[in-house]
Chain A
Amino acid sequence: MSPFDPTAHALSVNRRTFLTQSAYGLGGIAYALLRSKLSAASAASATPPAGWNGALREAHLPVRAKRIIFLCMAGGPSQLETFDWKPKLKALDGQPFPASFTAGQQLAQLQNMVLKARGPIASFSKRGQAGIEVSDLFPHIGSVADNLCVVRSMQTEQINHDTAHAFMNTGSIIKGRPSIGSWLLYGLGAETQDLPGFIVLTSQGKTGQQPISARQWSSGVLPSRFQGIQFQARGDAVHYVGNPEGVCQSTQRQVIDEVRRMNGLLAAGTHDPEIATRIAQYELAFKMQTSVPDLTDFKNEPQSMLDLYGVKEPGDGSYASNCLLARRLAERGVRMIQLYHRAWDHHDNLEGGMKSGAQDVDQATAALITDLKQRGMLDDTLILWGGEFGRTPMGQGTGRDHHILGFSVFMAGGGVKAGTVYGATDELGYRAVENPVNVHDLHATMLALMGVDHRRLSTKFQGLDVRLTGIAGEVVKGLMA
């Protein structure tokens, strides 16, 4: 098969070798990049490139998707009120939950409690030509059902929010593992240098909120340039992207020009390749100062577009506004866009919470799919909608507890089999019994859709090949078109 690939090897050498060990630049790679660009331009004064084009020279697999939008329903929405219709559970409502299902399993707050079945609080309808059963709480998502690939057999290993998010994002709960967006950026680079290649947006609902940590979009042991950049709802969208008070764009430009001159003079007398990189980073920074405000300015979005998404106030930090922003980011070549909507932890008041959460996300999620489709971008944009885990078919007061043995997510676009349902849980929705998909499998599949063999995207850390999927993960062919 493939002969020894020195490039891949060079890139998989110890990250410190790659980063700091070469004194003559950001590792031999960056130096080579610089040299090649310089010789191409054949001008010694050419600004060295500071961008990153990805560690993988070429795709391992056919590229079905170029970017991912992960709509993370933080808190863990109930599969039983979204995509997994369980009439038998409804019939059993209020009755003791059969112990044959639950014996010996780890629960969260229901540990050591009497377990009773709780019937779904929502009705379901068959939607689209495919007739996918979707909860009536999500009429808009139902209306795009033929674009969806619903997975009803998800399983995860972590039952508490913090660690479950870590597992969903990094495939591990050990600190320092890179997030999936960081892996993509590291492996593939981004199609833009004017914006960060991995962007995170957050919004929150009225109930069921749980905290989320910046660790979830950390690049871990990968260099920090690959970390997710969180856009802020208020103030500068990106930290420090706005000029100081009293400094306008043109004066700022003068400062940057003068910094470049000073750094240039330094470079003339000192051999330190970091100077050239620094000069280039200031250029990128200035570009970002221009492109971020342009990006977050929705002026040129017509009212019909705002209405499609249900945006009340552009840039108000709502999920709807973030969905529209996600589309704008996708258009600009950002590799990974992750939205967190913190609203789904319904230990109590499941009914109110689900209705309110659905109200927050239903229309905008469907609008994003519709909008990307009409722009011809759905084909190469992979959308993933889902939480860090699901919820118990057993009731917890007026709510449901965390659940990891069976829950639902859906994917759309970028090479997935549209209009299908994959896998199934048992009759009470307790455990995935048909085609279970664990988080590593999901990751392997997502990478495969992006053209990456999950076994071949790795970095050395502490002597090990660290990978998103660890030593596990199977590509789920049944999810791919």
Chain B
Amino acid sequence: MMALFRSTFFIFGCLVLFGAAARMTAAPEKISFNRDIRPIMSDTCFHCHGFDAKTREAGMRLDLRAEALKLTKTEALPIVPGKPDDSEIISRIFDDSDPMPPIDAHKPLTAEQKELFRRWVAEGAVYEPHWAYAPLLQPSVPMQKRGDVNPIDAFVRARLAEKKIKPSPEAEKFRLFRRAALDLTGLPPTPEEMAMFLYDHSPDAYEKQVERLLASPRHGERMAVWWLDIARFTDTVGFHGDQNQRIFPYRDYVIRAFNTNKRFDQFTIEQLAGDLLPNPTIEQRVATGYNRLNMMTREGGAQPKEYLAKYGAERVRSVAAAWFGSTFGCAECHDHKFDPIKTRDFYELQSFFADVKQYGVYGDYDYSRNPDLKGFNNDFPFPPEIEVESPYLVARHARAQDEITAHVNAMRQHAQTPAAAARMATWLDDMRSYLGRVPSGWEPLRANKAELRKGDKVITERPVTVETDGTVCGGQPLANREFYRITFQPDGGRITALRLDVMLEPPADPMEWKWPPSNVMLIPSVQCAEGEVRKLDVVYADATVKAPRFVNGAELHGVTAGWRLPEPTKRDTITGVWLLSKPVTLAAGESLVVIISGETLPKFRMSTSRLGARDPLDVASAATLAALTAPQRSPSQQALLADTWLMSTADDTAAFARYHKLVAKLNDTCRGKAWSMITEAMEPIAVRVLPRGNWQDESGPVVLPATPSFLPSRQESTPEKRLTRLDLARWIVSPENPITARAVTNRLWALYFGTALSAAVDDLGSQGELPSHPELLDWLASEFRRSGWDMRHLIRLIVTSATYRQSSSLRPELRDIDPSNRLLASQNPRRLEAEFVRDNALSISGLLDLRDIGGPSAKPYQPSDYYVALQFPERDYLASDADAQWRRGVYSHWQRAFLHPMLANFDAPSRDECAAARNVSNTPQQALTLLNDPSFVEAARAFAGRILAADAHDDTARLDLAFHLALSRPPQRTERESLTKFLVAQREIYRADYPSAEKLLRIGLAPVVGGDLVEAAAWTQLARVLLNTQEVITRY
């Protein structure tokens, strides 16, 4: 059964694919080398009779006409123009006993293909240069009957007219507008925008909307998704531990570039070589993050040289794919079989990037020391980086700052109420007498017991001494899991803050200093007379001097979770201050017990204070002491006094806690700054041709930068002048280079039609595809260049063309003539890309957060334990809170080793390398995602909430609204009937099962909607149906 079924299926397959091809070539057109012959030759001949001299057989070379007309070693004439019967290749392809290609190549020619060869030779065996490498000249636009038309339409219609096919009518207005909005911004139109368009009857109504959409900041976000695939932008390094890297400002750069319509030549130059421009701006340096987006490793045991070779090779593949649409990959090991790309080209291109400062292995391991990365562990970032201002963080910083100011003002106001003022006055008297006794505000502590311990065991062999001033002398460094346990009996009992002074002593031999030092951890507790111990919580701690600490690339604030001491270069005392979450008063007989760990703490001293402060390092500051003791206080001193009172006493516990929560939020905005990996130029490393790509084989010649030999106007280094990345970038966007404009234009086209003009966007070489409309591609490519690389000009041309505006309903009558709709007799339906599938749902539901452009990556909900197989460091995925949960997909955290399942299920690439095109699959995993991923369930319940909260009071009106939000159209009668029935059924189910309704409505972080839960649950189910429909996730 299966066998029968399958053979039927395959016969159908051939009919469909080849029936059309046969029909098209049966026309009595002259054979075109590029269209008809080169693809076959490339697939079946060039492997043994092409560019690569090493694999050439029988001395026969067919890729060059002059060579193919020469007598071979075996005295055969491969091609005799006009005389197929005298041509060796023709007799061999028709020779069934000893055919070409040979049987074991498994690439037999069809009878049609053989006939094509014969006719081509008969017609004179005319060769044409490969279309993509040929000089780029703007072809003239075909004449059209009706005057002024978009040149795109002129080319497309000319082709259709040849086939006697009429174009499709323009799409319905609502559909066209939804299409343009989704294509240009990745978001659906709002019902208001749609209404505005539908009621605008001016002739340029559509063009006006296109301008509006292009000017929207959402346009840059949409385009960034496209470019970030090409730039292989991710948040993690990819290899082995797949640690986080710091690079989001580069994404901001890309979004801004599209939003400001940065010219593509400038865009290219800045990314490849922004750092080499005269006086580069911060933005131009951030752009060079492009060169750093290759995968990196920190794996112990990896050899730096081997990985530098891997990075170098990847860079060639990615640059060639991005700017040439070419496949350089195979040339790493051997000359390309099908294209004139030589191994030397590969390494010469790589050599341009030999100055990019980068480390093969981002660690300092015993087997390969790296002084630049001394002290690096798995949590460290991946330099070189620069710290730059992030508009997103600046805005959040200001917002957090404002919140704190408002909160502090409220606290100060509160301090002026009579009851509070009275309490504060009592406290002030207290403090004044305290300061009389302890003028500095810090009471030095003298331990009455100091032990070195490991767990419960006291290590008596290494006694800890305490000097008269309270200094604790531990002597030798601590071993693993050892710590000091020190007991104090502070005078008077009240403690708000603890202070640790560490005496740094440079080691006699600086080489002895071991990095990384362990973190100094301080754990305070109170022990009562009976011996019971209760821990004291610390709300925040900071130190005067500290070495940075990271958790998976993110720098930690303060020293609450550990104080990493700096390298002791001179004799010095440094200070850390710990603020308690709640001031504590020791009762009689109670003592303060402090546990201190950290291997490099030979000498330290502790003190406590009854004073608190907003910032740990301001405890008992000079200003505070002055405010406390001044007989007359200025308004600012009065304010400081009120602050100090609250911070010292936590008089208002809630206000105190909130203050620190706001501070934590403020700290997370990093003063509005963020780090970003960049390119830093260094002395170029030697790049050799690696025989068979083997990094350990140093027998190959060292090569200098040069542009690809098979492209026009080759630039080569000389021993005196080495070409730079800037030279490469400028050559790429020079008028002499024909391939970049073609590659970019071709790829761009796919955004608006689903398929590019040459469908294999990642291979414009001879194994790729001749464009469906070669003249159109050349016209657009040269128009792109002529306009000064104006991307928006191209996009505008495309989306305002009648070709683009056609209906996307496919035409069954053309199925056999043009099975792939390459002639564009209609638009193509296009499923949204992964990011926009989610953006669209969030937008429909009203959850989408469009407050900011740019910023750090956000983390949508993700199944737990998805990163369980990741280590170095081990990590948890913490979904973003409400402040960043509903940001657009372009901002989603991109984990190379484990891409978010929703993104992966909808064909987003892991971006390990340049991804020029995405697959478009249609799988059960996609259905499961839309049905059950909490992001989509939450969107459905928010969507339901939105419908129920709107000014629509019956099912009919609500269903109308739901359709307008989700699909930009009213429901049809059949849809309305079916959904109404469904709604009624769901109401019954949830009325009978109230707890289930409650559960469903709690999914996600979005606020739970009040009101009738049964109604909300029923509408949530209806919203789920709509969000799962093909029409919602497709742009028609």
Could you tell me which A residues sit within 8 Å of B by CB distance?
1-4, 6-7, 10-11, 13-17, 19-24, 26, 28-29, 31-33, 35-37, 40, 50, 53, 57, 106, 108-113, 159-163, 173-176, 202, 204, 209-215, 218, 223-225, 227, 229, 232-236, 238-248, 251-252, 254-256, 258-259, 261-263, 265-266, 269-275, 277-278, 281-282, 284-286, 288-289, 340, 342, 347, 401-402, 455-456, 460, 462-464
Q: Within the assembled complex, what's the spacing in Å between the Cα atoms of A201 and B765?
A: 40
Selected from A20, A28, A254, the residue in CB contact (under 8 A) with B819 is A28
Closest 8 CB pairs of A and B: A463-B767, A246-B1000, A32-B12, A108-B301, A246-B999, A213-B897, A285-B927, A23-B821
Q: Within the assembled complex, what's the spacing in Å between the Cα atoms of A159 and B310?
A: 14
* B1000: A residues at CB distance < 8 A: 244-247
| Contact present for B12 and A36 (CB under 8 Å) | yes
Interface residues of B in 911-945 (CB under 8 A from A): 912-913, 917, 919-929, 931-934, 937
Q: Within the assembled complex, what's the spacing in Å between the Cα atoms of A17 and B920?
A: 12
| Contact present for A256 and B829 (CB under 8 Å) | no
* B766: A residues at CB distance < 8 A: 463
Interface string of B857-883 (1 = CB under 8 A from A): 000000111101111100000000000
* A33: B residues at CB distance < 8 A: 9, 12-13
Given A20-B754, A282-B927, A463-B766, check contact A262 B1025 (CB 8 Å): yes
| Contact present for B329 and A174 (CB under 8 Å) | yes
| Contact present for A464 and B767 (CB under 8 Å) | yes
Interface residues of B in 273-318 (CB under 8 A from A): 295, 297, 299-303, 306, 310, 314, 317
Q: Within the assembled complex, what's the spacing in Å between the Cα atoms of A427 and B109?
A: 52
Interface string of B255-288 (1 = CB under 8 A from A): 0000000000000000000000000000000000
Selected from A160, A224, A232, the residue in CB contact (under 8 A) with B904 is A224
* B937: A residues at CB distance < 8 A: 244
| Contact present for B932 and A243 (CB under 8 Å) | yes
| Contact present for B829 and A233 (CB under 8 Å) | no
* B60: A residues at CB distance < 8 A: none
Selected from A23, A110, A224, the residue in CB contact (under 8 A) with B820 is A23
Selected from B762, B929, B1002, B1030, the residue in CB contact (under 8 A) with A462 is B762
Selected from A23, A111, A463, the residue in CB contact (under 8 A) with B42 is A463
B379 within 8 Å of A (CB atoms): no
User: Counting chain A CB atoms within 10 Å of each CB, which of B299, B317, B329, B904 scores highest?
Assistant: B299
| Contact present for A265 and B931 (CB under 8 Å) | no
| Contact present for A20 and B863 (CB under 8 Å) | no
B149 within 8 Å of A (CB atoms): no
* B870: A residues at CB distance < 8 A: 211, 213
Interface residues of B in 91-134 (CB under 8 A from A): 103, 106, 108-110
* B934: A residues at CB distance < 8 A: 244
Q: Within the assembled complex, what's the spacing in Å between the Cα atoms of A342 and B314?
A: 28
* A218: B residues at CB distance < 8 A: 910
Residue of B nearest to A279 (CB): B1030
| Contact present for A159 and B301 (CB under 8 Å) | yes
Selected from A15, A50, A109, the residue in CB contact (under 8 A) with B301 is A109
Q: List 21 A-B contacts (CB under 8 A).
A: A7-B10, A11-B13, A21-B755, A29-B9, A37-B9, A108-B300, A111-B303, A112-B368, A162-B299, A210-B240, A224-B904, A235-B864, A240-B925, A244-B934, A247-B996, A266-B1029, A270-B808, A284-B924, A463-B339, A463-B760, A464-B330
How many residue pairs link A and B with beta carbons under 8 A? The number is 356
Question: How far, in Å, is B331 (CB) from chain A's closest CB?
Answer: 12
B388 within 8 Å of A (CB atoms): no
Question: How far, in Å, is B298 (CB) from chain A's closest CB?
Answer: 11
Question: How far, in Å, is A249 (CB) from chain B's closest CB?
Answer: 12
Question: How far, in Å, is B330 (CB) from chain A's closest CB?
Answer: 7
Selected from B2, B6, B831, B979, the residue in CB contact (under 8 A) with A274 is B831
Selected from B765, B828, B1003, the residue in CB contact (under 8 A) with A244 is B1003
Q: Within the assembled complex, what's the spacing in Å between the Cα atoms of A10 and B10?
A: 9
Interface size on B, residues (CB 8 A): 136
Given A224-B919, A462-B760, check contact A214 B898 (CB 8 Å): yes
* B330: A residues at CB distance < 8 A: 464
User: Looking at the complex, which of B408-416, B434-442, B809-817 is the stretch in contact with chain A?
Assistant: B809-817
Q: Within the assembled complex, what's the spacing in Å between the Cα atoms of A354 and B986?
A: 57
B822 within 8 Å of A (CB atoms): yes
B680 within 8 Å of A (CB atoms): no
Interface residues of B in 961-991 (CB under 8 A from A): 972, 974-975, 978-979, 982, 985-986, 989
| Contact present for A274 and B1034 (CB under 8 Å) | yes
| Contact present for A209 and B1003 (CB under 8 Å) | no
User: Looking at the complex, which of B14-22, B27-35, B246-254, B570-578 is the stretch in contact with chain A?
Assistant: B14-22
* A3: B residues at CB distance < 8 A: 108
B1021 within 8 Å of A (CB atoms): yes
Residue of A nearest to B339 (CB): A463
| Contact present for A53 and B6 (CB under 8 Å) | yes
Question: How far, in Å, is A455 (CB) from chain B's closest CB?
Answer: 7
Q: Within the assembled complex, what's the spacing in Å between the Cα atoms of A269 and B807?
A: 12
Question: How far, in Å, is B1031 (CB) from chain A's closest CB?
Answer: 5
| Contact present for A109 and B365 (CB under 8 Å) | yes
| Contact present for B765 and A213 (CB under 8 Å) | no
Given A254-B982, A254-B985, check contact A462 B13 (CB 8 Å): no
B740 within 8 Å of A (CB atoms): no
B239 within 8 Å of A (CB atoms): yes
Given contacts A6-B18, A35-B12, A106-B303, 12 further A-B contacts (CB under 8 A): A4-B108, A16-B759, A22-B820, A24-B819, A28-B13, A32-B15, A161-B240, A224-B904, A234-B865, A272-B829, A274-B1034, A342-B869
Question: How far, in Å, is B894 (CB) from chain A's closest CB?
Answer: 13
Residue of A nearest to B239 (CB): A162
User: Counting chain A CB atoms within 10 Å of each CB, which of B870, B922, B926 scores highest?
Assistant: B922
Given A209-B871, A271-B811, check contact A235 B863 (CB 8 Å): yes
Q: Within the assembled complex, what's the spacing in Å between the Cα atoms of A31 and B5?
A: 14
Selected from A16, A24, A244, the residue in CB contact (under 8 A) with B810 is A24
Question: How far, in Å, is A228 (CB) from chain B's closest CB?
Answer: 11
Residue of B nearest to A18 (CB): B17
B335 within 8 Å of A (CB atoms): no
| Contact present for B921 and A223 (CB under 8 Å) | yes
* A174: B residues at CB distance < 8 A: 317, 329, 913
Question: How far, in Å, is A126 (CB) from chain B's closest CB?
Answer: 34
Residue of A nearest to B175 (CB): A270
B527 within 8 Å of A (CB atoms): no
Residue of B nearest to A20 (CB): B920
* A176: B residues at CB distance < 8 A: 912-913
B998 within 8 Å of A (CB atoms): yes
| Contact present for B924 and A288 (CB under 8 Å) | yes
| Contact present for B929 and A240 (CB under 8 Å) | yes
Q: Within the assembled complex, what's the spacing in Å between the Cα atoms of A120 and B331?
A: 43
| Contact present for A281 and B926 (CB under 8 Å) | yes
Residue of A nearest to B917 (CB): A16
B1036 within 8 Å of A (CB atoms): yes
| Contact present for B767 and A462 (CB under 8 Å) | yes
